[in-house]
Structure 1
């Protein structure tokens, strides 16, 4: 795993290509070498009601939450955090240059003892992704 959950202000739907943004983050997660491709889940949710800073409706935000099962080294998590954030920042660079946008990312561990899971996804993936 990780789970990448993105909350964003709805006014960004017309400013960014969301399917491409999710693909960019998924690809960046794979590039880290820290996460198995078969376990990566990326999803985004628009916030319908937002109040940012002075209330100007043109302000936008993207908050990326990365949750992953414990067991990775601090160095790997730090490297993955930096790589994911750099990919998000590069994707948003044009919007950041022209508009008011807040971009944030937080990575945190999930305690495996308190997070049971099961999945059949790997059986349906190409052989090279079934790790």
Structure 2
């Protein structure tokens, strides 16, 4: 299980290329040497139309990526892997970041297996 939800302010417009970002994040998960099974990868975006940033007086923007995954990955792996993912996110927005106020964040959460219920037959396709 690796789910990534990207929240972004709608004032970023098409220049933010959110679909391109989602593909980059999904590719990073697929390139995990099997740590994240391909059939469990979900990457999606939520465009925010109602928000206040800082003092609310400027046309500020933000992008927040939240990863939810099952527990059990080694701390060293998480630090390296998600550090690399954040570099991908920063590189994706580098041009926008250079010309406007923009906050970028990435948070990683581990699911409590006692509170996580799943049914997924996608894995069968990738075992063939």
- With over 3 angstroms needed to count, the CA separation of the structure-2 counterparts of 1:4 and 1:47, relative to structure 1, is same
Please report the TM-score for the alignment, with normalisation by the length of structure 1. 0.88
Please report the TM-score for the alignment, with normalisation by the length of structure 2. 0.90
Displacement, 1:13?
2.7
1:8 is matched with which residue?
8
Number of residue pairs the alignment of both structures matches: 127
1:84 is matched with which residue?
85
1:111 is matched with which residue?
112
* Runs (5+) with no aligned partner, structure 1: none
- With over 3 angstroms needed to count, the CA separation of the structure-2 counterparts of 1:130 and 1:101, relative to structure 1, is farther
Q: C-alpha distance in 2, partners of 1:106/1:32?
A: 18
Structure 1 counterpart of 2:127, from 123, 126, 130: 130
Q: Which runs of 4+ in 1 moved over 3 A?
A: none
SS of the residue 1:118 aligns to: coil
What is the CA RMSD across the aligned residues, in angstroms? Answer: 1.6
